[in-house]
Chain A
Amino acid sequence: MLRDIITKEIQDMIMSPRFVFTFLLCTILILLSIYTGINNYQAEQKEYSAAVALNRKNLESQQTYGTLAGLGTKINRKPQVLSTVVNGVQEAVGRVATVNIAYDPSMIDSKYSSSPIFAIFGALDLIFIVKIVLSLFAILFTYDAIVGEKERGTLKLALSNRIPRDRLILGKAIGGFISLLIPLVIPVVLGLLILMIYPNISLSGDDWLRLGIICVMFLLYLSVFFTLGLFVSARTSRSSTSFLLLLFIWVTFVTIIPKAAIMIAGQINPIPSVHEITAQKDAYLQEIQKEAIAEQTQYFKDNPRPKEPDKIAKWNEELKKWAEDFQQRLTGKIDERNAAIERDYQTKMRGQQRLAVNLSRISPASALMFASMSLARTGINEHERFLNSVKTYKPIFTKWINQKMMRSLNLEEGGQQPKPELDDMPQHEFMPERFSDSFSRIMPDLVLMVFLIILFFIGAYVSFIRYDVR
């Protein structure tokens, strides 16, 4: 009997105009999103390769270690292949960081900063389609699942037979959900096939695993709205009331809670602005520069250049040694102080972010976004990990360039400084987050969605058992 109810639900839904409309729209949107995702990824890969080559060329073209120290090296973030389905924050946060001896590195040159028009509406990626379009369709499929049958009179006719109500609601839930999955699964499978066969797109086993879990998150997210629809449909006596109520909840979940959570977190845990932090760093830099000039003057006072030619070579050697120590000490102080300011700022910012994330997690839409971005490695966390790796690299680079710069000082009048050699330049290394770490990060989101599904389904189940079918 359960099978008959499930089959009937699927057939009834498939033959309805809303299914045809949903299927067509989903197929077009999903395939379009994957196609544009692939194109964007390929364009970013090209840009990345070009940027890396250009950086190398720039480094090689420097005439002295001094100019190299000022110019610094550019660290480009490699595009993520899963950005083809989950764009995340990568277009907003910048793709490149400059590491030099002076400034604290930060990510710049985001796609939105170079083309602000993209920031207005965001990307049409697969997650957008699931989060907005398919969740709306989940409501459209379920708002009249129970109340609509009551209005039509078919519920009375069905229940005049020997059918336990629990079996009827279970059959309706399974059949309805399968009907909702068809417009998602078929185009997504087609899209994944395109990903597989497309040239220059290579997904590793880890990527496929991540993609699989992202698809599971999609299913859970849609199940939340599906069971919510069933629940509301079993609590109302008019389908119009059910639809309006669901629409209200959808707007609250998808748009209001995520935005409100960020605002509330900002009010509860305020943090200093980036300008304040920069001002603090600049003030210290000026202080250090003053100290440096004083120390430099003092050194030359204490150690004047000897007049005897045989002593000059020794004096030069001592100066080089002192200059290297002096430079290392100076940059070390700056780095240390900047790191302390940054640490304090990061702690405060993380506190605010954590609060915003936890508050917005009440919404399944936020939970879906956080989980999918973590899995696709296109979220805030991966961005911060990358930036931290650049910041860790900065003192390593600074130490190397200081050493090179001071050892290559030519204090002879008109003396030439050697051209920089890059063979032993330390390279920036970044290990993308491991799957196990990403998975443990998404656990709260996964648990929350499962909890909401169980809660709404139990609500629908209990309500239907007591439902007045008249």
Chain B
Amino acid sequence: MLEAKDLTMKYEDGLLALDHLNFKVEPGEIFCMFGANGAGKTTAINLFLNFIQPTEGTALIEGIDVTKEPLKSKDYVSFVSENVMLYDNFSAFQNISYFSKLAGKRNLSKDDYAQVFKRVGLQEEAFNMRTKKFSKGMRQKLGIAIAIVKDVPNIILDEPTSGLDPRSGQEFLELLLELRDKGKSIFMSSHDIFRAKYIADNVGFMMKAKMVMLQSKEELKGQDLNKLYVEYMQEHTDSE
């Protein structure tokens, strides 16, 4: 479970990057956070991963305050970045092996990794290929494979489908649905409303550091999410 309680981030120069953010991602749930660049989505992720310290509020992973117990909280979360960047001189096997060891998974065999690769849709010939030759889609798949191998209850994804071709994007979302069905709490930031709307259980719209709308799938039923997003953004821009 992931939870943000009044999570606020104000930089030393006075810039308010996140303003009292509140949300909860239960097990078996996908929460999609939408918003323009600079709206505060990545700041929220950085706070959950303890890359920065909040000026107010708390980020909780499985009830653990990430500021107070940063290392412990990381035992319960996996992270997939926008552009999964790996060690280019390493093969897919070497990359996953290194990151899974960092995650504390030391006894996995090559077969275990191969199974995860197959599960995320990586072709067998890619296993021993240097990742510098990987396409963006392949990198994202490897990134999610690294997250799967860690085998933790929470996954945080930062713009995971940006730049993916339609087929790869679709495959990626199907993979997330599969993980959700296994009880993972998934928090995903995105611009990609077209794709994310099919998988999100809850959605939040971010604008200028604030969450201006938070709705569940039930509340969104029958509504056009694209239209709603544009209207919301327009409305909040006009009200300023």
Residues in A lying within 8 Å of B, measured CB to CB: 1, 4-5, 8, 11-12, 15-16, 152-154, 156-164, 468-470
Does the CB pair A160–B79 fall under 8 Å?
Answer: yes
Q: How far is the CA of A159 from the CA of B79 in the complex (A)?
A: 10
Given A8-B98, A15-B89, A470-B51, A161 contacting B84 (CB threshold 8 A): no
A219→B141 CA distance, assembly (Å) = 42
Partner of B102, one of A16, A161, A469, A470: A161
Residues of the A chain whose Cβ atoms lie less than 8 Å from the Cβ of B146: 157
B166 contacts partner chain A, Cβ-Cβ < 8 Å: no
User: B99 and A153: CB pair below 8 A?
Assistant: no
Of all chain B residues, which has the CB nearest A4?
Answer: B101
Contact of B87 among A5, A154, A163 (CB under 8 A): A154
- Chain B 202-233 per-residue mask, 1 if CB under 8 angstroms from chain A, else 0: 00000000000000000000000000000000
Contacting pair A4 B102 (CB below 8 A): yes
Closest partner residue, chain A, to B76 (CB atom): A162
Q: Are A160 and B74 in contact (CB under 8 A)?
A: yes
In angstroms, how far is the closest chain A Cβ from the Cβ of B189? 14
User: Which bucket holds chain B's interface residue count?
Assistant: 20 to 34
| Given A1-B102, A164-B71; A12-B51 close (CB under 8 Å) | no
A-B contact pairs, 14 of them (CB 8 A): A5-B102, A152-B85, A154-B86, A157-B84, A157-B85, A157-B86, A157-B99, A157-B146, A160-B74, A160-B77, A162-B71, A163-B102, A164-B71, A468-B51
Cβ-defined contact, A161 with B103, below 8 A: yes
Could you say which residues of chain B place their CB within 8 Å of the CB of A470?
42, 46, 51-52
State A289–B150 Cα separation when bound (angstroms). 96
B103 near A156: Cβ-Cβ < 8 Å: no
**Shortest CB–CB separation between residue A302 and chain B, in angstroms?**
97
For residue B89, which residues in chain A have a CB less than 8 angstroms away from its CB?
A: 12, 15-16
CA distance A82 to B81 in the complex (A): 55
A-B CB pair tally, cutoff 8 Å = 68
Interface assignment of B104: CB less than 8 Å from any CB of chain A: yes
Bound CA–CA A111/B223 (angstroms): 91
Tell me the B74-100 residues at the A interface (CB within 8 Å).
Answer: 74-75, 77-79, 81, 83-87, 89-90, 94, 98-99
- On whether A160 and B78 interact (CB within 8 A), knowing A469-B51, A470-B46, A470-B52, the answer reads yes
Which of A159, A160, A468 has the most chain B CB atoms closer than 10 A to its own CB? A160
Known A12-B90, A15-B90; contact A161-B74, beta-carbon cutoff 8 A: yes
Structural contact, B98 and A160, CB atoms closer than 8 A:
no
Complex Cα–Cα for A154 and B99 (A): 10
Choose among A15, A154, A164, A468 the residue that contacts B85 (Cβ–Cβ < 8 A).
A154
Contacts of B46 in A (CB 8 A): 470
B87 adjacent to A162 (CB under 8 Å): no
Residues of the B chain whose Cβ atoms lie less than 8 Å from the Cβ of A11? 90, 94
B49 beta carbon closer than 8 Å to chain A: yes
Residue of B51, B90, B99, B143 touching A161 (CB-CB under 8 A): B99
Q: B151 to chain A: closest CB distance in Å?
A: 13
With a CB–CB cut-off of 8 A, which chain B residues contact A163?
71, 102
Residues of B within 8 A of A158 (CB): 99, 102
B72 proximal to A (CB < 8 A): yes
Are A159 and B86 closer than 8 Å at their CB atoms?
A: no
Whether A159 contacts B83 by the Cβ 8 Å rule is no
Q: Please, what's the 1-or-0 string for B48-76, where 1 marks a CB less than 8 Å from any CB in chain A? A: 01011000000000000000000110110
Specify which chain A residues have a CB less than 8 angstroms from the CB of B101 in the assembled complex.
1, 4
Q: Determine which residue in B72, B85, B104 has the highest number of CB atoms from chain A within 10 A of its CB, and name it.
A: B85
Kindly name the residue among A16, A162, A164 whose own CB sees the greatest number of chain B CB atoms within 10 A.
A162
